Every structure is written in structure tokens, then in C-alpha cells.
Structure 1
Amino acid sequence: MENHENKVVHCLILPYPAQGHINPMLQFSKRLEAKGVKISIAITKFLLTTLQDLSSSHLSIETISDGFDEGCSSQTRSSQAYIDKFREVGSETLARVLRRLRAGRFPVSCVAYDAFLPWVVDVAVEEGVSGACFFTQSCAVDAIYYYTQQGRLKLPLAENQVVEIPGLPCLEPKDMPSFIYSPESYPFVLDMLVDQFCNVEKADWILINTFYELERQVIDWMRKLWVVQAIGPTIPSVYLDNRLPDDKEYGLSVFKPMTEVCIKWLDDQQDGSVVYVSFGSMVHLQEEQMEELAWALRRSNRPFLWVVRSEEANKLPRNFLKEIEEETRGLVVSWCPQLQVLIHRGVGCFLTHCGWNSTLEAISLGVPMIAIPQWSDQMTNSKLVMDKWKTGVRAQKEENGVVKREEIEEYIGRVMEDEEMRANARKWKQICREAVDVGGTSDRDIQDFVSCLATKFMTD
């Protein structure tokens, strides 16, 4: 991406400061870098202080402020006040970064920003650089929020309402994102999500963390509205096409995985025998659900690896850790290298909240799923996993939102023994690898983005 005048295409990547948003944008950055684009990652000053093993990263890092450089409570971070402050202070500090880089050797050509931060494109336009809006969730969920923003989906939904959106199967209220299904429970979050589209027309490109074959119909519909590129799945190359042989981990992480403990334990298990359980980096389970899950795993008579974050450990049943240690059939860890676990020969299924990153990882690595969605986009993802892609099942909850131990135990047996489901998982794994390989649909979308960006920059 460098011409005879030594002009270099430089892309500044700005993720929302949460692990599930950082990972896909970081992986996209690596793909761009491999195609000759200079990359800088912009993160908040507080986030920089929380990252693990930053010394091993070769990335060029720029810092901006969200207005809370010393950190803030989880309650503040989940409030309208945080979003407003981030917009106010972030706009000023981002503009200063762009101006400073403009005066240097490598001015920024494009800002690729998380769709949760729509104000970024206003700053980009003001500073004379291109903007690429990056959606970290599925195209299906993005379409639902767009329909809501356009007023074409009236809330609250009727109890038995069937929702029809181009490119998607018919959806019931329970299949919708929690912010749509129960907007009164999340007073400001729905506004933030629909605001992703408040100025999207200013962006030069729309980038979505999916691959075309997985969401063909809804992507085709969205391409009638904007310049859309499906650039996923954004997971390290060694697990897909291996074209970036050093790309083995995501990189910037706020959690420290217990890698050696997990892999050593898995190595001692029989092929396809392990139930892997993780609810990601943000989900907080009810204490009753933790107890039901613990009993189900013990009663399944199958080895299990369960990720229980440190702040959730007090919800485990009394003496549970001691008892499973004596039985040597289960392992509970505070965090794990999920990709290494999912690809391990010992893992037979993935019991998951069905966050989009975890869903894409399981599809990419051919692991069937048991979905126990909790909130956000997880209900919609689990609907597609079960009914469209047929690579897993969705557990049924009681009225109090808890899945009982008998149900979980039954689902574990069903998924571990269902050959058709396992065959579907292997099929999608192959389709995914073809999409990211040279000439595949996702690779072509990334190359198109880079080529358009280079052409635009060189002619400015």
C-alpha cells in the first residue's frame, strides 16, 4: 500500500473498551496489516492499565480518554452518563490524536470504529479522514436494531407477535435481543444500540464480523442500503487458514488464562468426551442457575471444563470445588484459552451463553453447542444456531429464567450423541475456512476494502 512518494495507508482502529469488542477488531487489524496497511490501535487510558502482557504486542497503540482515566464502577460503565462522557471527552482526545499523526510521517487515512461509538465518524469527517463503521455483532442482530431505529419495529412487542425482517427467519419475541424483548429492563441500552445507525450514512464502509455464507440473505438485503463488507470470522489465523502463522492468540486481553492447567487436563481426557462450559467475559448467572448447572454437570457422568470468573465463584454450591477435585472428573478455572480448548481433540460440545464471538468460534472450529442465552444478542444467536445452522440446541428456561438440571443433563446427552448435528458443525467449519482462505468471500471483502481505501487515499 505504498507508492513512489512513500505514501502509506494508515488505519486507526478504535474498539469499544470491552474484551468482546476488542478481540474482533484486533483480528481484523492483523488481516489489514498483512495486506500492507499500517495499523494503530486506539484504546482508553484506563483500559491500557488493565491489559495483560502488553510487552509481547508489536502493535502501535494510541490512547484516548473516556473521561474516566482512573477507572469507574461497573454501574457507571453501564450508564448513560458513561456514554455521554465518552462522547464528550473521547471526541476531543481522538481529534488531537488525528491531528498529531497528521503532522507526522504517517497521517491517518481511515478510522475503523466500533459501531457502539457513532460519534467517531463525526470526528473523522471533521478531520478529513475516511470512516469505516465496524459492527461486532451478527448481521441478523444489526438488522433488528436498524429496523427498530427506523421505527419499523414497534415496541413493546405483543406477546405472540411474529417479527419479519428481510433475510431472517420469522422471529418470536423470545428470539429477539433482550433489549428489544424487554426494553423496560434496560432504560438506556436500547437507545445506545439503535444509535449505532444515527449517522451511519456518513461512514464510507460498513464492516460486519460475519462471513457471507453464514448470513447470505440478510447481508444481501443490507448491501442494498450501504457498502457492506463481511470480514469475519475474526479469529486468529492459525485456527483458520494459517496464512499468518504467528497469529495464535487475540492479543490485548484483560483476563489471564490458565492455559497450562487447562491443556494438561484436557490431554488426559478421551477424544470428544469433554463438556466445555463458559459464559464469556460479562454474563452474571443467577445463583440458582449456577447450582443447577453444577448439579447437571456432575450428574452427566462426563468430564467437564467449566470457566467460572473469579467474581462469580462465590455462587458455586458449597464444597463443589472440593468434591469435583476428589472425583477428578471436572475442572473449574477462572479463565481459559478458549480457542485452544475448542480445537482440542478432547472437547465434544460447548455449553455457552451464545455471545457472538463464542458462537463464531464454535462454528469456525466445528464444535456443536448447547445454548443457554442470558441477555443482549444471545437469544437471536441461539435461535440461528438451532433452527438455521443446526449446529446446536437452545435450552428451555423456567418462568424465573433458570434452566433446570434435568434439562441441561438431557441436552448434554443429546448434543454429545447427535451425529447429524456434529456433521453440520463439521460442514460449517469447512465453509468458514473456505471463506477466509485466499479468494474466499471474506478474504475478497477485506481485499476490496483495502483496495478502495488505497485508491481513495492516493487520489486525495
Structure 2
Amino acid sequence: MAEQNEKLHIVVFPWLAFGHMGPFFELAKLIAQKGHKISFVSTPRNIHRLPKVPENLQPLVDLIQLPLPRVDKLPENAEATVDIPHHLIPHLKQAFDGLQQPLTMFLERCKPHWIIYDFAPHWLPPICSQLGISCIFFSIFSASALYYFLLDHYTSKARVSAQNKGFPDEHYETNESGVSDVFRVLETTNSAQASAIRTCMEIEAASLKLLESIYSKPMIPVGLLPPSLEFSEDSNDENWDTILKWLDKQEKGSVVYVAFGSEVRLSDEDFTEITKGIEMSGFPFFWVLKKQNTSNVELQDLVVNNSGTGLVWRTWAPQMRILAHKSVGGFLTHCGWSSVNESLLVGCPLVMLPFQNDQFIVAKLMEEKRVGFQVQRSEHDEKFSRESLANALKAVMLEKTYKSEAKEMSKIVGDKELHQKYIDDFVEYMEIHKPVLKD
């Protein structure tokens, strides 16, 4: 019994992107709630940008800061993908690889039972093997996306299929960091004792079974890590007060919420087609338009539609609170897995405009579930038009099917007991299979 109750020490090491750090942080807190010690490792600036650790978990969650090595071409204070343009990301990976030595020294010192890592540290598994630390690869992507990404390396004809799903050539090519993204994923997944996936059987049972069919190690769904709907942390936020006043003036279910995450950068053409498409649809909109989302087109070029009102928001906005507001009837999204889950948590249907990588796979999955409508792209050049965007907006905002199916899906995404059971099973796996630590 004493051995069963032994508390684990688990190191959590995400890639330097907030779309990755967020789910890793949520997973870390959920494991800590089970009484296990967590060391969350990232760079100083990223650690300071994380939400506060809840007071009751502070004794169990240590935030470990490892300074990011300097690399030519990376701007000063650039410690995450949000800090740099897309073409500099390989240099960020190069800097990330420079964390090998300080992380090794930390692991030698603290001797954890497990390390839960992301796709990027291809150099980490041999170090863990030498130190007797067990590894788990954590996929922040859906099971469907991970399956299509790995499929290329298990069947000879899959490369074309995977690329058609939105994975560009750049993932297969060696970049300035010295290796390819595919190499990183293969090294981290193949060397892990198990893979944890941010999904659940209720939504992705078929994809999980397909993954298990090509992968010889445990594939453990950890649930969707849905955020809290209590909104305690930002209840006094001035941004929210301003947004709330605007939303309260709009009719129920009439507003399109528009946001494309922190990674998508719109071309001039895409920006123009989106603005004109929203205008053509006639719906009021709330658009979170951060600098990194936009091209060289001036903001003044955004036309407020004639039949309603529009609000463009240039700084951080509380996405969950906006999606949950009664005036919001649809979410125009790039289909990042986190954004999709946040929208479905509150039963808000999706207008899906994917741009890259797993976003196309998530859009296809959600289209099959009838919780959203994908903006049609031309087969000739894969571009979308203002007309196709306006049609998608009208379909989701006016047809009741998408709203009702999204409401049904919210019962799964918002089922706290269901997702807690996935966490319980995952933690139990780590407890049962914990390594015997070396002296």
C-alpha cells in the first residue's frame, strides 16, 4: 500500500508556442490535483506569461526557468512563436535545442520519475534513457491529425494523402535547426514509453483505433482538457467590461466571433476576402485582430458592414467569455484544436477556415460531426472567396442544425466527470509503470 501511495515527480516540457504551452500547463495542473509533484520547464519570459498556478496547487507545481540560448537572427526577448514571424521559427527551434545541456543538468539534479514532452526535443529520449527516466510524448493535436502525420512513415502511399490534409513540404525538409519537423516527431514518439493524446473516445474513437493499428505503444487519451467556465480570473478585467457592453447591445445569436489564433498570419488577399465576406453576410462581428494575424493592409481598409455593427479588437480578449455570451451565434475560426474545443464547450457552432497543418483535418472531423461548415476553397488554387465565406457564415448563423449539434457536442466537451476519468486513468498508468529511479 505504501508503494502504491508513493507520489511521483513529473517534469513537463512543452514546445515554445502558446498553443502547446497552454494544454501542457492544463495537463500539469490536473496531474498535480492528484497529489503528484510537477516541474513545468520553459524559458523565463514564457513562464512569466503563464496564468497563475491556483493557490492550492502551488506547493506541488514548480515553474522552472531555463534561459533560452542566444541564436543569430532571433530578435532579443523572442522566446515563443508568437514573438517572431513564421520564417524565423526554425531559428527558435535551434535555440530550443540549445536547452539540452541545462535541461540535462536539471534532470540529473532532480531525478524525476517521468518526463512528459512535446514533439520538438528529439535529443531528449537518449538522455532520459541514460538517467532512468521514463518518457511520455504528449500530442496537443487531435488523434486524427497525429494519425495522418505519422501515416506517411508507415505506408508507402500516405505522403500525398498527408500533404493533401494540409501538411506542407516544409515539415519534411531539414531546416535551419539542422533537422526536419518529421524527424523530431518520429524521434520523440518512437522513443516514448507511451503517447498521451488530447482527445476522447466519444469524439475520436475511430482515429484512436487507427493510431493504435500503426503504433505499437500505448496511445492514451487524456480527455480534451476543457477550460473552466467559472471565469474567476478575468472577472474584473477592463477589457472584458468594454467588450461586454458592446455584446450586450447585440441581438441574441446574431454576432459572429472572429479569431484565427496566434500563429496564423493573413495575406493581403485573405484579409481582403475575409473583410468583404463578413460585409456580404450582413452579420455583426467581433474580430480579434492581433498584429501577427495581419498583413500590410491597413486596418482602415476593414469595412464595417451596412446592416449591423462590427468591432475590431487589437489586444488580448477573453475568448471563452465571448464565445459563451448569448449574442454570439457562430465562431469564424482557423480550426486550431484548442479553439474548436472552447467553442464546442459552450455549444457555439463553427464557421471553419483552416489555413495549415492539422487545421484541415480538424475541420473535416467537425464537418462530419455537423457542428460546423467549412468555407469552400477552389480546387484549382485552393483559395477561398468572399462569396464562399459569406455562404458559410449564412449557413451556420441561419441553419438550426449546426447550433443544435454543437449544443449536443457541448455535453461531451463539458462533461467534467468524463474528462476527469481520462486524467485518472492516465495518472494511474504513470503510477503503475513508474520506473525505479537510479541513485
TM-score (normalised: structure 2): 0.84
| Residue ranges of structure 2 left out of the alignment (5+ in a row) | 79-83
Cα shift at 1:44: 2.1
Q: Which moved more, 1:193-202 or 1:210-219?
A: 193-202
Q: How does 1:27-46 map to 2 (within 5 A)?
A: 27-46=26-45
Name the counterpart of 2:422: 445
Superposed CA deviations along residues 287-329 of structure 1, whole A, max 9, x for unmatched, are 12212211222332221100111244564556346x6499971
The DSSP-based 3-state class of the residue aligned with 2:120 is coil
- How far apart are the structure 2 equivalents of 1:284 and 1:154? 28
- How far apart are the structure 1 equivalents of 2:335 and 2:204? 16
Cα shift at 1:375: 1.1
- How far apart are the structure 1 equivalents of 2:242 and 2:396? 26
| Residue ranges of structure 1 left out of the alignment (5+ in a row) | 103-107, 158-162, 164-170, 240-244, 250-255
Change in Cα spacing, 1:77 to 1:258, as seen in structure 2 (3 Å) is farther
Which letter does structure 1 place at the counterpart of 2:279? R
Q: How does 1:396-411 map to 2 (within 5 A)?
A: 396-398=376-378, 399=380, 401-411=382-392
Name the counterpart of 1:167: none
Cα shift at 1:368: 1.0
Identity of counterpart residues, as a percentage? 23
Aligned residues, how many? Answer: 415
Note if 1:390 corresponds to 2:379.
no
Superposed CA deviations along residues 162-195 of structure 1, whole A, max 9, x for unmatched, are x5xxxxxxx9x64x1232xxx2697447931353
Name the counterpart of 1:253: none
- How far apart are the structure 1 equivalents of 2:210 and 2:27? 23
Which letter does structure 1 place at the counterpart of 2:194? W
Conserved? CA contact 1:46–1:68, under 8 Å: no
The DSSP-based 3-state class of the residue aligned with 2:206 is helix
Change in Cα spacing, 1:431 to 1:195, as seen in structure 2 (3 Å) is same
Note if 1:119 corresponds to 2:126.
no
Pick one of 59, 62, 77 that aligns with 1:60.
62
Name the counterpart of 1:234: 225
Change in Cα spacing, 1:298 to 1:213, as seen in structure 2 (3 Å) is same
Cα shift at 1:151: 4.8
Q: How does 1:142-181 map to 2 (within 5 A)?
A: 142-155=146-159, 157=160, 163=161, 174=164, 176-179=165-168
Conserved? CA contact 2:132–2:435, under 8 Å: no
Change in Cα spacing, 1:317 to 1:291, as seen in structure 2 (3 Å) is farther
- How far apart are the structure 2 equivalents of 1:231 and 1:53? 21
- How far apart are the structure 2 equivalents of 1:246 and 1:114? 28
- How far apart are the structure 2 equivalents of 1:312 and 1:263? 23
Cα shift at 1:198: 2.6
Name the counterpart of 1:97: 106
Cα shift at 1:395: 0.9
Cα shift at 1:356: 1.6
- How far apart are the structure 2 equivalents of 1:23 and 1:452? 23
Name the counterpart of 2:408: 427
Change in Cα spacing, 1:109 to 1:263, as seen in structure 2 (3 Å) is farther
Which letter does structure 2 place at the counterpart of 1:113? Y
Cα shift at 1:34: 1.4
Conserved? CA contact 1:229–1:446, under 8 Å: no
The DSSP-based 3-state class of the residue aligned with 1:408 is helix
Cα shift at 1:425: 0.8
Pick one of 284, 300, 319 that aligns with 2:300.
319
Which letter does structure 2 place at the counterpart of 1:11? I
Note if 1:333 corresponds to 2:337.
no
Change in Cα spacing, 1:370 to 1:110, as seen in structure 2 (3 Å) is same
